[in-house]
């Protein structure tokens, strides 16, 4: 369960260029939901996603992941939450170009004490789940956009997180590939994961089970 109560975010607080990106956001997302957060550029949706991902802080309010109050967590605890509970998928894939698909998927396992052979087995399983096991040893910059996004999703799920957060995951893809990626997110959701997709595309949002609209830093629908 994700719960946000009266979350506000202000950039450059106390300065002349202070900007309030989020205004007292109240939001609950149950385990196993498939949710779209939709809004125009600058509406605050990416800021909200970064707070959900424990990447960005907030000025006031309370954010709970399950029973954990995020603002009470140490940096070490936040890193553990990001590594174990949350998988992130970005629009630009955020892959290391000169790494293979397998090496990219292994990155979240850098701090794992498991044997290298066990890590590789886990990564190959994640690549298989997204239909990319045949490309495990292909260099990332040789892959198509859709293939790169599949590798990025494999990296997001390799630690078997309960929550997948995706920031405009189809923004750099054509319509056919976007549909394939959305089917992949739906299958991850069907397997029990909570999936939250930030998008400006209503066609993508309508494929989710719930749509949250944000405007000017406020949830309006």
Whole-angstrom distance, CA of residue 221 vs CA of residue 203:
17
Number of domains in the chain: 1
Beta-carbon contacts of 137 under 8 Å, excluding residues fewer than 6 positions away, are 100, 101, 102
Termini Cα distance of the chain: 20
Entry pTM = 0.92
DSSP-derived letter for residue 144 is -
For residue range 163-212, what is the model confidence (pLDDT) as tens digits?
999 999 998 888 999 999 999 999 999 999 999 999 999 999 999 999 99
Q: Taking a C-beta distance cutoff of 8 angstroms, is the pair 221, 213 a contact?
A: yes
pLDDT, residue 111, reads 74
Mean pLDDT confidence for 27-55: 93
Question: What is the DSSP pairing of strand 163-167 with strand 194-199?
Answer: parallel
CATH number for the domain that contains residue 64? 3.40.50.300
> Which residue, among 177, 176, 207, has the nearest Cα to 189 in the 3D structure?
207
Question: SS3 of 73, please?
Answer: coil
Burial 167-194 (b: 16+ CB within 10 A, else e): bbbbebbeeebbeebbebbeebbeeebb
Is 41's pLDDT higher than 90?
no
Burial 84-115 (b: 16+ CB within 10 A, else e): ebbbbbbbebebeeebbbbbbbbebbeeeeee
pLDDT, residue 52, reads 96
What band does 14 get if pLDDT is binned at 50, 70 and 90?
A: confident
What band does 22 get if pLDDT is binned at 50, 70 and 90?
A: very high
pLDDT, residue 123, reads 95
pLDDT, residue 107, reads 92
3-state secondary structure 167-209: ECCCCCCCHHHHHHHHHHHHHHHHCCCEEEEEECCHHHHCCCC
Whole-angstrom distance, CA of residue 170 vs CA of residue 22:
24
For residue range 54-75, what is the model confidence (pLDDT) as tens digits?
999 999 999 999 989 999 899 9
Whole-angstrom distance, CA of residue 151 vs CA of residue 25:
32
3-state secondary structure 78-99: HHHHHHHCEEEEECCCCCCCCC
- The range of the structural domain enclosing residue 142 comes to 2-219
Mean pLDDT confidence for 31-43: 93
Q: Please state the separation of Cα 130 from the chain's center in Å.
A: 16
For residue range 89-123, what is the model confidence (pLDDT) as tens digits?
988 899 999 999 999 999 998 777 778 888 899 99
More confident residue, 15 or 5: 5
């Amino acid at each position: 369960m994700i719960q946000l109560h009266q979350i506000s975010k202000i950039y450059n607080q106390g300065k002349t260029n202070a900007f309030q990106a989020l205004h007292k956001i109240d939001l609950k997302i149950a385990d196993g939901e498939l949710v779209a957060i939709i809004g125009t550029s600058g509406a605050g949706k990416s800021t909200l996603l970064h707070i959900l991902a424990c990447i960005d802080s907030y000025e006031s309010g309370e954010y709970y992941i399950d029973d954990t109050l995020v603002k009470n967590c140490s940096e070490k605890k936040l890193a553990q939450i990001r590594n174990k509970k949350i998988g992130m998928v970005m629009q630009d894939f955020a892959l290391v170009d000169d790494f293979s698909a397998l090496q990219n998927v292994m990155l979240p396992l850098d701090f794992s004490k498991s044997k290298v052979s066990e890590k590789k087995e886990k990564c190959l399983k994640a690549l298989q789940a997204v239909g990319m096991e045949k490309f495990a040893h292909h260099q990332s910059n040789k892959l198509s956009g859709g293939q790169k996004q599949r590798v990025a999703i494999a990296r997001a799920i390799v630690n078997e997180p309960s929550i997948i957060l995706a920031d405009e995951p189809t923004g750099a893809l054509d319509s056919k590939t976007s549909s394939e990626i959305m089917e992949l997110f739906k299958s991850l959701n069907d397997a029990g994961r909570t999936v939250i997709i930030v998008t400006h595309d209503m066609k993508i949002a309508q494929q989710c089970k719930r749509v949250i609209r944000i405007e000017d830093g406020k949830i309006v629908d």
